[in-house]
C-alpha cells in the first residue's frame, strides 16, 4: 500500500489563488472577477500583478455571472470568485442562460463549499452545488482535494474551452498530491490499489479515504482508493475497472447524497455493472455552525464514516 505524506496543511482556496496568479503571468486572456470576497478567495496576488484584468463587482453575484459571460465575447477567459453558495444557487438562472446555454467560456470558481467553512453556519455552507452544476448540459464539474491539486486544476481549466465549475474549500487540510502532478480533466486518479472494496472520494474526503484505507488494512481489508476530482464528465471506465475487481463500492463526498458524486456513480453502475454501494455524504440536510472537524464528525464525513460504510457494503457483496 502506497503511503501518502502530508507536505504541510494548506487550504485548497490558496491553491486556487496560486494557480490564478500563475495564469495571470502566463495567459494574457485570463481575467478575474470577484463579488467582494477577494481575501477569502485568495485573489490578491493576481490583482496586485494584473490590476487592469481584475473586476471588482461588489456584492452582486448575478451581475458578476452576466459580466463574466460578456467578457468571453472578445476572447477573455473569466474566472469568477465567490463562495460556493453564492456561485451556484444564488445565480442559477444566470449561469443556466447566460453561461451554460450560451456556451460561454467562464470558469466559476467556488470556495467555502460544504460544511467545512464551519462557524458561519448553513446560510453560507452549501451541500447541493455539485448537483445543481452537474445537471447543466455542457458544464464541467470539478472538486479538488488539496492545495496542489487545486492549483493544478485552476491552471488546467484555462486550457479547456467551455464552462467549468471548480469547487474548493476553506479549511487547511493535508496537502499530499505530487506538486508537479498534471491535472487531467475527467481522469480519475487511482491512489491505492486494492481488491476487496473500491473507495471513490472527491474533495476533502480523499485524504479521509486514504486514512480509512490504512485502518482497513489493519483489519485485513484491501481497499482501492480512487480520487475522482472531476464529477462531470465522470471517468466511468476507471470506476468500472475497479468494481469489476472488488465487487463493491463506497463513495465519499462533502455534499448531499442527492445530486452528488455517489449519485452519478450509482446511475452509471446501474446501467453498466450493478454493484452494491454505500454513500458517505450528508443525508438530505442543511449544515450548521461548528468547527469543521465537529461538523465532519456529526454529519458522517470522515475516515471513521468511510470505514463503517466499507464494513456495511462488504456484507452486501
88 belongs to the binding site for another protein (CB under 8 A): no
Rounded Cα gap, residues 232 and 141, in angstroms: 5
Q: How far is CA 68 from CA 32, 61, 76, 104, 281, in A?
A: 9, 10, 9, 9, 32
Strands (E), the chain: 10-11, 30-34, 54-56, 77-83, 107-111, 140-143, 164-167, 172-173, 189-192, 197-201, 223-227, 230-232, 249-256, 277-282
Q: Say if strands 77-83 and 140-143 run parallel, antiparallel, or are unpaired.
A: unpaired
Confirm whether 22 is a catalytic residue: no
By CB under 8 A, name the one of 6, 48, 49, 93 that touches another protein. Answer: 93
The number of residues that bind another protein (CB under 8 A) is 32
Site for another protein in 32-71 (CB under 8 A): 52-53, 55, 57-58, 60, 62-71
- Give the active site residue among 22, 44, 61, 293: 61
Alpha-carbon distance 199 to 314, whole Å?
12
- Using CB under 8 A as the binding rule, whether residue 31 contacts another protein is answered as yes
Smallest gap from residue 96 Cβ to another protein (A): 8
Among 22, 36, 44, 103, binds another protein (CB under 8 A): 103
- Where in 154-183 is the site for another protein (CB under 8 A)? none
| Residue 97 lies near another protein (rule: CB under 8 A) | yes
What is the rounded distance in angstroms from the CA atom of residue 73 to the CA atom of residue 69?
A: 7
The span from the CA of 206 to the CA of 283, in Å, is 19
Name the minimum Å distance from CB 100 to another protein: 9
104 vs 170, which CB is nearer to another protein? 104
When asked if residue 186 is in the footprint of another protein (CB under 8 A), the reply is no
Residue among 62 and 258 whose Cβ is closer to another protein: 62
129 contacts 141 by C-beta, under 8 angstroms = no
Q: Which residues does the annotation mark as catalytic?
A: 61
Residues near another protein, by CB under 8 A = 31, 52-53, 55, 57-58, 60, 62-76, 78, 93-94, 96-98, 101-104
Amino acid at each position: 500500500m502506497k503511503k501518502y505524506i502530508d507536505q504541510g496543511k494548506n487550504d485548497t482556496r490558496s491553491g486556487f489563488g496560486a494557480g490564478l496568479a500563475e495564469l495571470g503571468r502566463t495567459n494574457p486572456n485570463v481575467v478575474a472577477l470577484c463579488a467582494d470576497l477577494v481575501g477569502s478567495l485568495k485573489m490578491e496576488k493576481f490583482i496586485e500583478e494584473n490590476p487592469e484584468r481584475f473586476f471588482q463587482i461588489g456584492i452582486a453575484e448575478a451581475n458578476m455571472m452576466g459580466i463574466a459571460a460578456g467578457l468571453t465575447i472578445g476572447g477573455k477567459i473569466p474566472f469568477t470568485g465567490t463562495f460556493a453558495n453564492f456561485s451556484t444557487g444564488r445565480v442559477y438562472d444566470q449561469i443556466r442562460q447566460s453561461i451554460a446555454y450560451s456556451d460561454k467560456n467562464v470558469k466559476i470558481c467556488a470556495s467555502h463549499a460544504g460544511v467545512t467553512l464551519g462557524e458561519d453556519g448553513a446560510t453560507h455552507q452549501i451541500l447541493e452545488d455539485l448537483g445543481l452544476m452537474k445537471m447543466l448540459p455542457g458544464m464541467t464539474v470539478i472538486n479538488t482535494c488539496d492545495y496542489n491539486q487545486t492549483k493544478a486544476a485552476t491552471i488546467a481549466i484555462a486550457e479547456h474551452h467551455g464552462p467549468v465549475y471548480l469547487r474548493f474549500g476553506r479549511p487547511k487540510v493535508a496537502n499530499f498530491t505530487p506538486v508537479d502532478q498534471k491535472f487531467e480533466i475527467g481522469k480519475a486518479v487511482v491512489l491505492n490499489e486494492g481488491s476487496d472494496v473500491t473507495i471513490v472520494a472527491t474533495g476533502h474526503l480523499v485524504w479521509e479515504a486514504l486514512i480509512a484505507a490504512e485502518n482497513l488494512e489493519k483489519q485485513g481489508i484491501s481497499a482501492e482508493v480512487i480520487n475522482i476530482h472531476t464529477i462531470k464528465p465522470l471517468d466511468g471506465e476507471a470506476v468500472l475497472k475497479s468494481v469489476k475487481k472488488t465487487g463493491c463500492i463506497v463513495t465519499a463526498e462533502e455534499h448531499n447524497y442527492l445530486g452528488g458524486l455517489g449519485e452519478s456513480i450509482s446511475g452509471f453502475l446501474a446501467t453498466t455493472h450493478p454493484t452494491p454501494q454505500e454513500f458517505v455524504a450528508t443525508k438530505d440536510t442543511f449544515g450548521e455552525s461548528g468547527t469543521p472537524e465537529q461538523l465532519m464528525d456529526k454529519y458522517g464525513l470522515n475516515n471513521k464514516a468511510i470505514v463503517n460504510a466499507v464494513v456495511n457494503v462488504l456484507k452486501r457483496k
